[in-house]
Structure 1
Amino acid sequence: MMRIHIKVFIVLIISAVFCRSAYSGSDDKQKDIHQLETITVTAQKKEENPQKVPVSVDVFSDIRIEDAKIEDVLDLTRFSPNVHMKQNYTEHVIVIRGIPSFRASTHSPAGLYVDDVSYPLHYMQNTMLFDIERAEVLKGPQGTLYGRNTESGVINIITRQPDNQFRSKVFGEYGSDDTFRSGANISGPLVSDTLFVGAAFQYKISDGYAENLSDGNDQVADSEQVNARTALRWTPGDAWDISLTADVMNADNHIGGYRLISGPHASNPFEVRKDEDEYYKEDGNSQGLRIKYEGSMFHLLSVSGALYQTLDKLADTDLWDDPGDRKVNTFKIRERQYSQEFRMSSAQKGAFEWLAGVYGFMEETEFNYKYDIVSKGITGKHPIANMDTDGYAFFGQGTYTLFEDLHLTAGLRFDHQDLEGDLRDDIKGRHCSQDLTYDEYLPKFSIAYDLSKDFMVYTSASKGYLVGGYNWLMNPTSETFDYDSEYTWNYELGIKTTCLKGKLIANLSVFYTDIEDKQVTEFDADTSSNTVTNAANAHSQGVEFQVRTMPVQGLEIVAGFGYTQAKFDEFKATEWNDTHTALIENDYEDKYLPYAPEYTYNLGIQYRSANGLLCRADLLGTDRYYGDIGNLSEQDAYQTVNLRLGYEKESFDFYLWAENLFDEEYLTYVAPFDKNSHVGFDGPPRTLGATLTYRF
């Protein structure tokens, strides 16, 4: 079992000292009436109390996100048990309950939605969290209500909508490595009770924490990103709520942080040797129109979405500064998506509550990859792939309540997709074209029983799938150009309870997930090329526990623990031997799935006094995980500690903070590079900084 590190005791001692001193100096007139904040979620596409939803869901309010200094989805995943992210500059694969995607995939098995609009490619899924209302992390297949590519779960982000309350603030932040972050937001009524407007902006720039030993450049991994959002909301009557939201983003980064972590050219953490100016640029915009009608008999919701994003990258493929062995790859993505969803739901709480809807989308994606051997003046390959996907779905879910305490839920989705894929690689002399069609039925069942008004037990079964697609990168032939979908069935038993008059929330879930037709990469002997197949079966099983409590006014303790065992049950892959001279069959039965740590945990202690003092400490832990199916590339278990001390008044806040206080060294990405080496991407070292916020 896990070893308790001395840092655990240090952070608890520091927290206790901070909290005790803050409490001693607080206002003696504080009321003893206190409880945890009440949050409404839309995990099941209707507003509910999360303690009444028969789904394992973690909810992060805007206050909780700000208090924990959660800036993006990567940060968010570390505060949710059994959630992890395979993260480097371009890949942001969300791994929930140990279910990853294959190497060189484009879609994550977990969905990311912002205001009910899907962000389909995992390259998009480390979005910045600014001026949002809340974030929801749903665990287990969500195919019935969300459809494709939600076989392990969903992260829902709900942005803040303007209302009658006037809000405005500006902030500035400075930290290690010349990191500067600033932003502003303003919202309020143009016409009271009828027309509202809001706008938010964020800018972040950093020199990065990597140095290129080849030329002494300590900004080889610098970054610069701008995000902005506007929202216009109109409520022409009591029953109507219409909002239009638009987002834009731009990122201009250098990506020199990849390094060899083993082999003859291995380097120390945060040090690389490169002879290329690696970069990563990203542009994107999205628009969402929501029309909501709440009548006495039923509710209607229309969600229209448009999304456009581009990515341009140049990478040093050889990861070294040998002039006789210079290799680079350039990678460009163009993604455009349009979607429309209509939902109708019951208006009244009663014995039978229902929801039904229809969904449609169009998606156009272009991948342009070029691999150059610069030292020899040749191009190794240059695949250009175009993929068009059209789809529609019908879905419904209903809950019938017996004896006021027994809740029976059933749901079903019919999901249809048509895919057109075309690839041309003039260097390899290959042209592949294939049309695919998928029809899937995605059911869900649950039984929940209220032992009391604050104690619920539930069990559920649900199906999800990760859609099939095209092997566009690994030198495909007509025979190896496409692959099929993979499927999960999740079985879950859970308990949700609220105790001590709202001062304690504790949730426990136990799950088993069966994974069939797992998408994996292997070598195809018939065509002498790499391919993607559905050759594996696997399982994931485990438990997760979350607790939040406010034992005294202002003191909040949040803890979570997740254990997952995710392994292959059956997988025999054809691969080259160590000397690359012959093909052999490797048996990966009982190997861990990549990027699936066995345990993750978080412990946060925070005190907010009546006189304005805030003190917070977070301990975040991740177990060992592997970066490949053979379990050869490995990241050891690690823990990081974050501290935050602030002074808050009505018009301004000031915070001092430290992230990764004990300067723990760890990797957020690790993978085989060649037969002698492995490549990795370092997580951030110790970072110190200060933040000032002014509200007007």
Structure 2
Amino acid sequence: MSFKTPFLALFAGSFALVSFAADKPSLPQSPVLEELVVSEFRQTPAIDVNTSLTQLNQAEIEEFSLQHFEELVQLVPNMNYSGEGSRARYFQIRGIGELEQYEGAPNPSVGFIIDDIDLSGIGGIATTFDLQQVDVLRGPQATRFGASALAGMVYAQSALPSKETSVNFQGLVGSSGQIGVGAALGGSLSDKLQGRISAHSFRADGFRDNDYLRRDDTNSRDEMNLRGKLAWQIAGDWQATVSGLYADFQNGYDAWAIDNGSNTYSDKPGDDSQKTGGASVKLTGSIGPAVDFVSITSYAASDIVFSYDADWGNNDGYWGDYVYDYFSRTDRERNSLTQEFRFQSSEDGRVFGGSTDWLIGLHGRELDEKSDSSLVGFYDDSVDGPGAFCPGGCDEKTRLKSDYDSASLAVFGKLDSALSEHWQLTAGLRFERWEADYSDTFFDYVYAPGMPVSNAFEPKENMWGGDLTLSYALTDTSNLYGLIARGYKAGGFNVNLARNLVPGQEQTAADIPYDPEYLLNYELGYKGLWFGGRLMADVSLFYMDRKDMQIKSGAQITPGDPDSFVFVTSNGKGSSYGLETTVAWQFTDGWQVFGTLGLLQSKVENYKFTPQEELIGREFAYAPPYTFSIGTSYRSQQGWFGRLDVLGKGAFYYDYSHNRKSKAYQTVNLKLGKEWQRWAIYAWGRNIFDKEYYTRGFYFGNEPPVFPETLYTKFGDPRTYGMTVNYSF
């Protein structure tokens, strides 16, 4: 990378300004009227954040979720996830986001950050124990963060250390072998140093029975998460927060069946495992009376394994006289390093007569990912005699090894100007230089032994984004806003086209790369608090224009080979519009009613890859026309607690490779309990009416000997129930 050296210099210099820490005046503290949006550059009350935002505080997270962030997605308007794997890691906001990553370079549309550690595209380890807050910002985020995101950003923050000693324990037991144990401890280590550490383990059988192996744990969940934080008051107003996490997920993956039933028949169940270690250091302080400084450094390393029985069956009579046996495995190693510097005005540093706050920042990121994918299989249809496709059997043994290395460096700025007592104008701009090196080698050990095929690409992009927001404060607790925002996503390349693996396609060098995507978001919104803060409502209307929309589709090359898929990304055009609203009403001191609604209409307007002309005019994949949640909770003075949630989602297309859709569905969750000063016990049920619904769908041929194209679907979690006990002091 041509700018790796200056990037590393930025990283090395992240601690240089600590020397200015001594004898600096303290920063003025702003009053906190409601939950703070920690993902903003400046801590801002949620009511004043002029964009479409869902914010979940610790109480809401603990009341609603059982274990994982994928459960919280149901509370976010116009957010969805692809059920690709044992846990959600591929998210979509307003119908924009990846569905999988079987090959090629990582390039997520939805950002995912935990404690300032960038885990975009690999957020499947996001458990909810000891989380303090989750912010989901919808629409392009070019200047609200050091990192950028095309579709939106998820920022999760674990509980902060406090000076008071606190201890929390949690125990959980439930149906399907669910067992969870968690503990968190925090408090002062010295006058200027506070710490907190948490640990959580969760296990479950996985809601599937494998009839062939006579096991109930081939789709199991075995998840462990450790988090820690140190808060250090260095000197004056200089502070440092050090965060660390370690996750070890050893989940099984056996979720598909030829008959689309809830039981499976595979003889070689797969794995969906991830080990991630990461840390971040956030340094804040003032460098003079007019300028505040922020440095955020983060690093994460992950080892990921994704494997599966590709034929979903066995050879003990399941396929009759045919032999059909395939297994796929992908190992990934990912390392990422980020460094961010921000210089922003303090109260004394405002410009234009004290009316305007300003911010200038730099953000650098390096990401390295090595991938090793292998497929081993055998098909024999000799029983068909002269008409056999593979008389005597067809072996397959292939391997694809790839190495991806990218670096980006962005400069961004923001002005926030008070035009009058009621009017506020905010303008932000971002410029980013992105470079990548990609190389791979494909081995076919059966049909081309000793003749590997290699690719190498070195794409480079200059991209820019920004936003312009005008807001009007109706009262101290309500405002209107309008915004225009431009986001971007880097381009890439089609490794399969480079290897000429798509039959019937005329391919030139121009077909191999695809361009960056740009997104223009136009939004009008209202946020307000009424009746002394007892009633909260926000609503936003948006229209989004996707230029050079990146559409990824797959095609099965060889009948009889369930893993002979190639994936091609091409540019097109798309648009969408919709509505998002959240309402919460504290009806009495103990009784609350709340709900969310997302409406979305999307359309693919153009697509260059000719086999998929049928996509034009249809909706985006994983873009349901509506999502909603309606709930109520009650907490008495005697400590009795109850919560009821009804959650729904409209039908959506499963993919861009075919036009099959899910069905609309609704589920109901119920939680009842008793709370004391230190103890709490809850009985809960999720999907209590055992509604069948699906989180992923494939359409291809996987049944010998004819291999008719069929829609195969993956079930969401069935009815589960159990008890949770909490203890704190």
How high is the TM-score relative to the length of structure 2? 0.84
Q: What per-residue deviation string (whole Å, max 9, x for no partner) do you get for residues 306-348 of structure 1?
A: 1000111221111222460101111111000111101122222
Q: Distance in 1 between matches of 2:67 and 2:123?
A: 15
- Counterpart of 1:226 in structure 2: which amino acid? M
Q: Is the 8 A contact 1:523 1:574 kept in 2?
A: no
Distance change (3 Å), C-alpha of 1:596 and 1:147: farther
Q: Is the 8 A contact 2:64 2:72 kept in 1?
A: no
Q: Is the 8 A contact 2:238 2:284 kept in 1?
A: yes
Q: Distance in 1 between matches of 2:69 and 2:490?
A: 23
What does 1:473-484 align with in structure 2 at a 5 Å threshold? 476-477=499-500, 479=509, 482-484=513-515
Q: Does 2:327 match 1:341?
A: no
Instruction: Name the counterpart of 1:359.
Output: 363
- Counterpart of 2:418 in structure 1: which amino acid? T
* Aligned-pair Cα RMSD in Å: 2.3
- Counterpart of 2:685 in structure 1: which amino acid? A
Which stretch shifts more, 250-259 or 37-46? 37-46
Q: Does 2:85 match 1:113?
A: no
Q: Does 2:87 match 1:100?
A: no
What does 1:259-298 align with in structure 2 at a 5 Å threshold? 259=257, 265-268=258-261, 270-294=262-286, 296-298=289-291
Instruction: Name the counterpart of 2:301.
Output: 308
Which stretch shifts more, 102-111 or 556-565? 102-111
Q: Is the 8 A contact 1:148 1:464 kept in 2?
A: no
Distance change (3 Å), C-alpha of 1:570 and 1:377: closer
Distance change (3 Å), C-alpha of 1:587 and 1:89: closer
Q: Distance in 2 between matches of 1:498 and 1:45?
A: 23
Instruction: Name the counterpart of 1:556.
Output: 592
Q: Secondary structure at the match of 1:625?
A: coil
Q: CA deviation at 1:470?
A: 3.9
Find 2:76's aligned residue among 69, 77, 80. Answer: 80
Greater length-normalized contact order (CA 8 Å, ≥ 6 residues apart): 1
**Unpaired runs of at least 5, structure 2:** 1-31, 317-322, 380-392, 501-507, 556-563, 702-707
Q: What per-residue deviation string (whole Å, max 9, x for no partner) do you get for residues 48-73 of structure 1?
A: 01111111111111111001125322
What does 1:429-468 align with in structure 2 at a 5 Å threshold? 429-468=452-491
Instruction: Name the counterpart of 2:27.
Output: none
Q: CA deviation at 1:148?
A: 6.5
Q: What per-residue deviation string (whole Å, max 9, x for no partner) do you get for residues 253-272 of structure 1?
A: 2111123xxxxx4232x212
Find 1:39's aligned residue among 32, 35, 46. Answer: 35
Q: Distance in 2 between matches of 1:146 and 1:484?
A: 24
Instruction: Name the counterpart of 2:667.
Output: 640
- Counterpart of 1:643 in structure 2: which amino acid? L
What does 1:15-164 align with in structure 2 at a 5 Å threshold? 38-69=34-65, 71-89=67-85, 92-101=89-98, 104=101, 106-120=106-120, 122-125=121-124, 127-146=126-145, 150-164=149-163
Q: Distance in 2 between matches of 1:274 and 1:431?
A: 33
What does 1:150-549 align with in structure 2 at a 5 Å threshold? 150-192=149-191, 194-259=192-257, 265-268=258-261, 270-294=262-286, 296-322=289-315, 324-348=323-347, 351-375=355-379, 378-427=395-444, 429-472=452-495, 476-477=499-500, 479=509, 482-521=513-552, 530=566, 532-549=568-585
Q: CA deviation at 1:117?
A: 2.6
Find 1:620's aligned residue among 624, 643, 647. Answer: 647
Q: Is the 8 A contact 1:573 1:587 kept in 2?
A: no
Q: CA deviation at 1:355?
A: 1.9
Q: Distance in 1 between matches of 2:202 and 2:567?
A: 39
Moved over 6 A (4+): none
Distance change (3 Å), C-alpha of 1:508 and 1:556: same
Q: What per-residue deviation string (whole Å, max 9, x for no partner) do you get for residues 103-152 of structure 1?
A: 646433111112233213x2334511222221001011002334776111
Q: Distance in 2 between matches of 1:516 and 1:57?
A: 24
Q: Secondary structure at the match of 1:586?
A: helix
Find 2:619's aligned residue among 566, 575, 592. Answer: 592
Q: Is the 8 A contact 1:486 1:534 kept in 2?
A: no
Q: Secondary structure at the match of 1:143?
A: coil
Q: Is the 8 A contact 2:54 2:136 kept in 1?
A: yes
**Unpaired runs of at least 5, structure 1:** 1-35, 260-264, 576-584
Distance change (3 Å), C-alpha of 1:597 and 1:237: same
How high is the TM-score relative to the length of structure 1? 0.88
Q: What per-residue deviation string (whole Å, max 9, x for no partner) do you get for residues 609-636 of structure 1?
A: 1211111111111111111226532210
Q: Secondary structure at the match of 1:635?
A: coil
Distance change (3 Å), C-alpha of 1:326 and 1:301: same
Percent sequence identity is 24
- Counterpart of 2:215 in structure 1: which amino acid? N
Q: Is the 8 A contact 2:496 2:568 kept in 1?
A: no
Q: Distance in 1 between matches of 2:142 and 2:570?
A: 20
Q: Is the 8 A contact 2:542 2:578 kept in 1?
A: yes
Q: Is the 8 A contact 2:490 2:516 kept in 1?
A: yes
Q: Secondary structure at the match of 1:76?
A: helix
Q: Secondary structure at the match of 2:36?
A: coil
Q: Secondary structure at the match of 1:67?
A: helix
- Counterpart of 2:72 in structure 1: which amino acid? L
Distance change (3 Å), C-alpha of 1:521 and 1:163: closer
Q: Secondary structure at the match of 1:144?
A: coil
Q: Distance in 2 between matches of 1:483 and 1:41?
A: 36
- Counterpart of 2:454 in structure 1: which amino acid? H
Which stretch shifts more, 596-605 or 80-89? 80-89
Q: CA deviation at 1:449?
A: 0.6
Distance change (3 Å), C-alpha of 1:309 and 1:338: same
Distance change (3 Å), C-alpha of 1:475 and 1:209: farther
Q: Secondary structure at the match of 2:75?
A: coil
Instruction: Name the counterpart of 1:694.
Output: 727
Instruction: Name the counterpart of 2:683.
Output: 656
